[in-house]
Structure 1
């Protein structure tokens, strides 16, 4: 039996435990593992009410209950995105208060609930998602359960830490510059950044970060990720075209293999070796490999990082000018990003946005030659706690630190294309060796199909059991 949310749902569906028992186990695990700092807000009463309602539905309408893919499974919402009713989001910032009136469910949150997921808390994220670590000044400081001296990544680091530690089996996550994929890679999980237009963004549509962000989850298995994608995607009713997901293309696929990242931010040898191993594993199953060099993606990677930098800066500049906001309450790095955004000219921003459009064009051209791009996710192991400090104002240095860890992360966000990471083995220190795959728009399921193939090699084992899952 797989150690994942689907298995937990099946145990609840078949009566091996109740939703109330699963929730009690998650609440107990959250308290027992508070040292990880994965959760920044817990509402135990909300969780118990959600679970009681699920158990009542199982008694009164068993068919409807059983049809939910994650019936009765506890989950957590990230402190960015959503929102989930009953769980006030503050984006890791002193700017807001947990006591402020919370918002109703977003379209995405309502679909999580319809799939049977029961949210009871919020996971730690850096202030406004600005780092690839999750150490907001307001606390708590999120640690990697595989090695507590290291970060679980960011900005969905709290979600990844909670899932890897077994507090919950699956958790909400968002990705505007690698924020689903980096934490998943740090913690040995599966993380898919869906393609633009695949996931709902309503009902409060706007132009937050120019459309580069996507929401879904971090999970312990490919099947969990695929199941939640099916349950939550489509009919986005938003500012982007509603993308209809195609079924996976049968083998053989042409898989472009990129084992390096670049001279300024080189990939550690054993991490490059994991990419090669994954490529050969797929080749042995009928796929064709197409060797690629850093020069094939270098310009796209640089333009993506620049536009990400500019969009984050201007977004925070806008927030800083919101009436009634005391922006001095934010961290020094946040204030520096906002100052940079206010100083950015319209022409400079337009130049970056134009380059971003060309990134999408050039990546499409690369996909004229290949069906999937296989590349590094992290250039190094998860860095130590404190590697992304926010008590300074050097935004260039901060961006360089993020690129050094995840050189290709922003490529998927700026292009809008789907990208997935998953572990494919462990390094000498027992930390996951992640791989990353990109695909064209509309073929997210192609990535999931290939990931399921790689997962069957069983090179990575989860360290901690899921709270409540019967053995």
Structure 2
């Protein structure tokens, strides 16, 4: 029982529960034991739910994931009766959520049993998971490495096979970055695919939420369960022709694939990453796809400036809204968060609108690229691993931005443009660390990505590659 998720994904275990071959209570008890034990090593979970909170979740639904334990990140998702800390000491005790956010309610109706919350960087600003409040989460592949972020707590527990999938959010790469560093599948949906209700949007539409998972089909089935608009949403993604789960099991056809050996406007990648891209391009050719080297054209420097402007303005505003009149004390916020908020306070309406216009202009440039190609391939990151402490939030903004750059160089443009993108663990370093390959498609084309992912999962499976247990 304790090692069940090493050999079964969520849908497989839910099938055992529905067939009465597995008892939900026994599964939950075993999972909670494993969570506590593993958390002493990884520090990935901030709260473990028991008593009324757990009972409420068990009784919530009997959908495709009936009885499957699930963790929800401490960011962009509300669980009724508990605070969402956003990784910050300032919000450690409140506000307490009066109701589930829309996506969490859909998770419960799909049968998921929420057993706790996972660690995140403060307000999700850093693409690592080392908040001053709660401490650093460690990567189960190597404990001196970060699992990435800001969904690193979720990714660490799934990589350790304590659960088959967990909630994750993505404002600049925070689903795909930890998926890459932890050897998992992670898909960021299109803008508006999953409702952010009760809020309208986050980061000028750059923010999204979904999960990290061990299997492609779990991700697809969960997106079927949580996708869709809520009344009053400012926008929604186009409806798929069928289900995402169906897409994951059917051939993608002959796709037009472009691959990049270097980031747009960036330096040459290190040889191990170039080799990973070239090997994957060769694999795609062997599967019958049309593959050629090509890159989209957009102003990476302008996009980076726009991102920080939007991030800073949102950080300042969200702190004010959530604080409800409280003012952060000298130790309530990390230095980079405080700098970000102070910069955000100075952002003018004109500057903010220009930043959003840069997002939209980039989206149109990427849209034109996808008139010629179905998929864009690169690595997820411009690095192979992330030592703990490599991204510091106690220094200057310039030091922070320099450390973050190689982590978001391929991912952030997808958030600005609102397009779907996924990371798949198709390659490995010589010393056995996972290397995520990044695939991007046009707006609303998650079906294309899931079909390709299902094909690649069969051609180059990764499920049996697990981190060491100690």
TM-score above 0.5, yes or no = yes
Residue in 2 that maps onto 1:76: 71
The answer on whether the counterparts of 1:425 and 1:434 sit within 8 Å (CA) in structure 2 is yes
Match 1:337 to one of 340, 353, 360? 340
Total equivalences in the alignment: 450
Match 1:37 to one of 20, 25, 43? 43
Q: Does 1:49 align with 2:55?
A: yes
Q: CA separation in 1, counterparts of 2:379 and 2:312?
A: 27
The answer on whether the counterparts of 1:300 and 1:411 sit within 8 Å (CA) in structure 2 is no
Offset at 1:347? 2.7
Residue in 2 that maps onto 1:104: 99
Residue in 2 that maps onto 1:313: 312
Tell me, what secondary structure is at the counterpart of 2:145?
coil
Offset at 1:85? 2.1
Residue in 1 that maps onto 2:368: 365
The answer on whether the counterparts of 1:153 and 1:183 sit within 8 Å (CA) in structure 2 is yes
Q: Does 1:260 align with 2:265?
A: no
Of stretches 350-359 and 28-37 in structure 1, the one that deviates more from structure 2 is 350-359
Offset at 1:343? 2.4
| Residues 267 and 4 of structure 1, relative CA distance in 2, 3 Å threshold | farther
Structure 2, unpaired ranges of 5+: 1-5
Q: CA RMSD in A?
A: 2.2
Q: TM-score, normalised by structure 1?
A: 0.90
Residue in 2 that maps onto 1:17: 22
Tell me, what secondary structure is at the counterpart of 2:47?
strand
Q: CA separation in 2, counterparts of 1:250 and 1:430?
A: 30
Q: CA separation in 2, counterparts of 1:53 and 1:355?
A: 46
Q: Does 1:148 align with 2:153?
A: no
Offset at 1:94? 1.1
Match 1:283 to one of 274, 282, 285? 285
The equivalences for 1:346-361 within 5 A come to: 346-361=349-364
Q: CA separation in 1, counterparts of 2:375 and 2:104?
A: 30
The answer on whether the counterparts of 1:267 and 1:378 sit within 8 Å (CA) in structure 2 is no
The answer on whether the counterparts of 2:264 and 2:300 sit within 8 Å (CA) in structure 1 is no
Q: CA separation in 2, counterparts of 1:259 and 1:459?
A: 23
Offset at 1:201? 1.5
Offset at 1:2? 5.5
Structure 1, unpaired ranges of 5+: 58-64, 467-471
Task: Kindly provide the CA deviation profile for residues 373-399 of structure 1, in whole angstroms up to 9, marking residues without a partner as x.
Answer: 11120111221111111112x223312
Offset at 1:166? 1.7
Tell me, what secondary structure is at the counterpart of 1:95?
helix
Q: CA separation in 1, counterparts of 2:99 and 2:267?
A: 42
Match 1:221 to one of 215, 219, 236? 215
Offset at 1:264? 4.7
Q: TM-score, normalised by structure 2?
A: 0.90
Task: Kindly provide the CA deviation profile for residues 333-359 of structure 1, in whole angstroms up to 9, marking residues without a partner as x.
Answer: 111001111223333322222221110
Offset at 1:224? 0.6
